[in-house]
Amino acid sequence: MSTIYTQTLPCGLKIIAEPMSGVKSIGLSWHFDAGTSAEPEDRAGLASVTSEMLLRGGGERDSKAFADVLDRIGASRNVDCSGRTMHLRSSTLGDKLIDVLPMLADNILRPRLDDSTLAPSKELSLQGLESLEDDPRERASIRASTRHFPAPFNRSIYGTESGINAITLEDVQNFWRTRSAPAASVLAVAGSVDPDQLFQKLGELTEPWSGEHETIEPAGSPVRGVDHIEDDSNQVQIMLLAEAPAESDERAALLTKVAVNVLSGGMSGRLFTEVREERGLCYAVSASYRGDDRFGVLSAYVGTTPERAQESLDVLTAEMLKITTPEGRITESEFHRAKIGMKSNVVFHSESTAGRAVGLSGDQRRLGRARSLDEILRNLESVTLEEVNAHLAGFRLLGVTLQTLGPKELTPPASLGI
Amino acid sequence: MSTIYTQTLPCGLKIIAEPMSGVKSIGLSWHFDAGTSAEPEDRAGLASVTSEMLLRGGGERDSKAFADVLDRIGASRNVDCSGRTMHLRSSTLGDKLIDVLPMLADNILRPRLDDSTLAPSKELSLQGLESLEDDPRERASIRASTRHFPAPFNRSIYGTESGINAITLEDVQNFWRTRSAPAASVLAVAGSVDPDQLFQKLGELTEPWSGEHETIEPAGSPVRGVDHIEDDSNQVQIMLLAEAPAESDERAALLTKVAVNVLSGGMSGRLFTEVREERGLCYAVSASYRGDDRFGVLSAYVGTTPERAQESLDVLTAEMLKITTPEGRITESEFHRAKIGMKSNVVFHSESTAGRAVGLSGDQRRLGRARSLDEILRNLESVTLEEVNAHLAGFRLLGVTLQTLGPKELTPPASLGI
């Protein structure tokens, strides 16, 4: 039975700490409200370039000196961005907590962001963009998200060539200064951690930290509907996106996750069995749910050959719709399987200090509070088959985006109503 | 402070169990002496095809029914092969141990290996082989290993097109029957496990298990030397392999690992600094050590452009040689950094039940005994800078293989003596 400690520092930073028994390591997960949705319209790629530059020195230290100190502490460090956040992660041994915190504070409060690291960071972002040419699935996924979500929450992390090329040092500095405000920031530490020591040290280190923070709102309605990317490849990518409860709508999100697990969890989910095993229609098929405080999305994916593409889409759509009908109701054994699979996954992830830290900070961002492992497992345990089926009976595929990529367009199934 | 329990069952299977506090999951790692080195010469790819077929049913259950039961237990399962072993891994919750063991026993003692799964498994192996076309680094690495190790320990897991096409059901059945002998097999379980329960249940389940086992010996000397793969790409792959102590030569292997960490550990290793940061010669550079009970190999890698390839090779070679000279001796701060980095890595991996199980079974195979985390950390702690530098002063790059891939051949540095 673990205890979660939280504190909001005077600067506004929210800290969550969960000591874990039997471990020597700590995992840190630090979120900032600085994702691609905060980029200026003509600077697509700014979040990604900033994430690269954040890795290159801080405080008194240049890139090399900074990396050298982290190595002496035995600390790993990663920075990556998404639509909503910039995410700094670090792992080290618990007895190095006091050494790593000043480094991370330098990284965040006093990053170098200087001319010498701008060009290589832009170059890396351009290379990332170029690598999409060889990744048709990722290209289809980016287009699908662009159409499915309202601007500016529909932007990819890759940016655009013109956006990246236009980025100046001032852009990066402004972006980080205006978006890294402490009050919109969440830090979680899990593992071999003394919460009091953590809170006190961070209180000292963040004393000079301040800054305003502007909340980003959706601008207009998303495009959605049907879209096809003509591509001379011998693979076809099919993606179906629909509205789902936001993660902040906790119970509905949980019931949706159970349904997605029945469709696509483990090795014997419905989609795998019906689309791949029974009919041999594709090489990959899956469904997933993602949500945050604002949005929820149900996605289904098939990767297949041009010859099998139309039938794959038809069968995929039929399975996605069927689970909401009386004939498609989840069975007792499917329900049991989904629950144990979800329970196992929750436990596996929570046993790693890095995984647990990410879970805590994510909870805080999505739900406004961090849940204990016990609470998560209790919630899952409390779900009944009747409750899931009742939820699904009222669920419809709404706000659908159908994205395909391949040599020719497919016919959207009439049942999708798009 | 953890305790390791071991038992050798009457059938010859060696079992290792390490209960871990604070976790609910278990990780299982089961090795068999059935790697590519055991393939008949004209059936290259047999180990890989067998690994695919092992995933497809066992005992009374076909592929689908088997996957369904594992999902009900909430157990994951993987099978993959290497040059020396076939490796089955599984993770589940500790309270499902008694449910998962009979499934794994069915998987191993009574796999289906029937006609219905042969064709799709061969197809997947052929696809894997085909995917190498897009992976120049992997192609260079395969060729380098083929030249560096003595047959039959020099074979890749991908096999050959003719080998895979020639594989019959009888080949697979014979391969598994003759190579999955219990006495050459090691099973490790870490996490929420009761060793007595584990030993007793496995004793019952493996009662009918028997089989002879033939040890494979090297046939002749390896080729080594310089080789170039002509490839019309705008990347150049450079790999340098040399003899190193086997892992079973524990102290020498440990000292070699410290040296490799100085060259390539963390974010501030010598190679990264000298080849990439200072001179901007490449996009990737690294060194690594791998060893088992028989072999040890020191490898260095550079990925770069054709224009920078020769200089990259020259600088890489110079750095690999320099560390054995008086001017290149490891410094106090490099030594400290390498030790803390290695310590952190050992701790991180050992905190996951899956990682710990793999560590235990690997130890048993390589060293003939499983080490506790304390022993590993104590050994590391006991290494002194003087000891590493003395070891390096006596170390030479011997038995070198230089493999390149790119638009044109490079000139091997004279200092390599090849």
Given an 8 Å threshold on Cβ–Cβ distance, is B337 in contact with A25?
no
Q: Match 């139309």 to its residue by tokens.
A: A310
User: Is residue B213 scored above 90 in pLDDT?
Assistant: no
Average pLDDT over residues A120-132: 89
Helix (H) or strand (E) holding B179: helix B169-179
Whether A284 and chain B come into contact, CB under 8 Å, resolves to: no
Q: Distance from B410 to chain A by nearest Cα, in Å?
A: 26
Say whether both A272 and A348 belong to one domain. Answer: yes
User: Is residue A72 scored above 70 in pLDDT?
Assistant: yes
Residues from chain B contacting residue A76 (CB–CB below 8 Å): 344
Walk across the sheet containing B401-406 and list its strands: B225-230, B401-406, B236-243, B296-304, B282-291
Whether A134 and chain B come into contact, CB under 8 Å, resolves to: yes
pLDDT of residue A281: 79
Residue B215 lies in a domain: no
Q: Give the domain-ending residue among A205, A238, A257.
A: A205
Q: Distance from A83 to chain B by nearest Cα, in Å?
A: 27
The token pair that represents B160 in the structure block: 């050959």
pLDDT of residue B35: 97
Report the Cα A357 to chain-centroid distance in Å. 14
Residue B220 lies in a domain: no
Residue A9 lies in a domain: yes
Say whether both B286 and B176 belong to one domain. Answer: no
HSE-CB of A134 using CA atoms within 13 angstroms: 7
pLDDT of residue B201: 97
- Closest to B68 (Cα-Cα) out of A331, A381, A386: A331
The token pair that represents A235 in the structure block: 């693979």
pLDDT above 90 coverage of chain A, percent:
89
Given an 8 Å threshold on Cβ–Cβ distance, is B344 in contact with A267?
no
- For residues B112 and B56, the answer to whether their CB atoms sit within 8 Å is yes
Say whether both B242 and B286 belong to one domain. Answer: yes
pLDDT in tens, B11-61: 999 999 999 999 999 999 999 999 999 999 999 999 999 999 999 999 999
Determine the residue among B72, B270, B276 to mutate to test chain A binding: the one whose Cβ has the most chain A Cβ atoms within 10 Å: B72
**Using omega within 30 degrees of 0 as the cis cutoff, is the peptide bond preceding A19 cis?**
no
Given an 8 Å threshold on Cβ–Cβ distance, is B74 in contact with A23?
no
Average pLDDT over residues A81-104: 97
Residue A217 lies in a domain: no
Q: Distance from B63 to chain A by nearest Cα, in Å?
A: 10
pLDDT of residue B178: 93
Say whether both B132 and B170 belong to one domain. Answer: yes
CATH of the domain at A28: 3.30.830.10
The token pair that represents A134 in the structure block: 């060889």
Given an 8 Å threshold on Cβ–Cβ distance, is B25 in contact with A348?
yes
pLDDT of residue A1: 62
Say whether both A230 and A196 belong to one domain. Answer: no
Nearest by CB: B268 against A24, A68, A341: A68
Residue of A nearest to B2 (CA): A22
Residue B214 lies in a domain: no
Provide the H-helix boundaries in A218-327: 250-264, 270-271, 306-322
Nearest by CB: A74 against B22, B344, B352: B344
Q: Distance from B136 to chain A by nearest Cα, in Å?
A: 14
pLDDT of residue A350: 95
Say whether both A65 and A200 belong to one domain. Answer: yes
Whether B93 and chain A come into contact, CB under 8 Å, resolves to: yes
**DSSP class per residue in A170-232:** HHHHHHHHHH--GGG-EEEEEES--HHHHHHHHHHHTTT-----------S----EEEEEE--
Q: Give the domain-ending residue among A205, A238, A254.
A: A205
Nearest by CB: B351 against A92, A337, A352: A352
Residue A129 lies in a domain: yes
- Closest to A353 (Cα-Cα) out of A195, A193, A194: A193
Q: Identify the residue with better confidence: A147 or A120.
A: A147
Determine the residue among B351, B352, B356 to mutate to test chain A binding: the one whose Cβ has the most chain A Cβ atoms within 10 Å: B351
- For residues A4 and A20, the answer to whether their CB atoms sit within 8 Å is no
E strands of A49-201, at which residues? 76-81, 86-93, 186-191
pLDDT in tens, B124-147: 899 889 888 888 999 999 999 999
Residue of B nearest to A354 (CA): B348
CA distances from B186 to B7, B89, B349, B364, B371 (A): 10, 12, 20, 7, 14
Say whether both A201 and A250 belong to one domain. Answer: no
Residue of A nearest to B278 (CA): A64
HSE-CB of A285 using CA atoms within 13 angstroms: 30
Whether A351 and chain B come into contact, CB under 8 Å, resolves to: yes
Using CA atoms, how far apart are residues A87 and B13, in angstroms rounded to an integer?
A: 46
Q: Distance from B357 to chain A by nearest Cα, in Å?
A: 14
Average pLDDT over residues B368-393: 97
User: What is chain B's percent helix, strand, coil content, to nearest 5?
Assistant: 50, 20, 35
Averaged pLDDT score across all residues of chain A: 95
Averaged pLDDT score across all residues of chain B: 95
Determine the residue among A21, A71, A193 to mutate to test chain B binding: the one whose Cβ has the most chain B Cβ atoms within 10 Å: A71
Whether A343 and chain B come into contact, CB under 8 Å, resolves to: yes
Residues from chain A contacting residue B333 (CB–CB below 8 Å): 72
**DSSP class per residue in B21-53:** TT--EEEEEEEES-SGGGS-TT-TTHHHHHHHH
Average pLDDT over residues A346-375: 96
Nearest by CB: B341 against A74, A134, A351: A74
Domain residue limits at A89: 5-205
Using CA atoms, how far apart are residues B248 and B253, in angstroms rounded to an integer?
A: 8
Residue of A nearest to B276 (CA): A64
Q: Which 3 state secondary structure label does DSSP give B214? A: coil
**Using omega within 30 degrees of 0 as the cis cutoff, is the peptide bond preceding A152 cis?**
yes
Band the pLDDT of A134: cuts 50, 70, 90: confident
Average pLDDT over residues A327-339: 97
Given an 8 Å threshold on Cβ–Cβ distance, is A74 in contact with B336?
no
Whether A411 and chain B come into contact, CB under 8 Å, resolves to: no
Average pLDDT over residues A36-57: 96
Q: Match 């298990």 to its residue by tokens.
A: B209
Q: Is A119 exposed, middle or buried (0-12, 13-18, 19+ CB in 10 A)?
A: exposed
User: Is residue A18 scored above 70 in pLDDT?
Assistant: yes
Angle between helices A250-264 and A385-393 (to 10 degrees): 90
pLDDT of residue A53: 96
pLDDT of residue A235: 87
Average pLDDT over residues A71-82: 95
Given an 8 Å threshold on Cβ–Cβ distance, is A266 in contact with B24?
no
Walk across the sheet containing A25-32 and list its strands: A5-8, A14-19, A186-191, A25-32, A86-93, A76-81
Say whether both A256 and A150 belong to one domain. Answer: no
pLDDT in tens, B331-371: 999 999 999 999 999 999 999 999 999 999 999 999 999 99
pLDDT of residue B1: 62
Given an 8 Å threshold on Cβ–Cβ distance, is B340 in contact with A74?
yes
Whether A381 and chain B come into contact, CB under 8 Å, resolves to: no
pLDDT above 70 coverage of chain A, percent:
100
Given an 8 Å threshold on Cβ–Cβ distance, is B337 in contact with A266?
no
Residue A411 lies in a domain: yes
Residue of B nearest to A127 (CA): B283
The token pair that represents B291 in the structure block: 């060893």
Residue of B nearest to A351 (CA): B23
Say whether both A38 and A187 belong to one domain. Answer: yes
Say whether both A238 and A121 belong to one domain. Answer: no
Using CA atoms, how far apart are residues A272 and A265, in angstroms rounded to an integer?
A: 9
Count of domains forming chain A: 2
The token pair that represents B49 in the structure block: 């095809």
Residue type for B280, please? G
- Closest to A383 (Cα-Cα) out of A244, A248, A272, A262: A262
Say whether both B259 and B394 belong to one domain. Answer: yes
Q: Give the domain-ending residue among B176, B205, B234.
A: B205
The token pair that represents B362 in the structure block: 């690997």
Say whether both A314 and A397 belong to one domain. Answer: yes
Given an 8 Å threshold on Cβ–Cβ distance, is A68 in contact with B340?
no
- Quote ipTM for the complex: 0.88
Residue B398 lies in a domain: yes
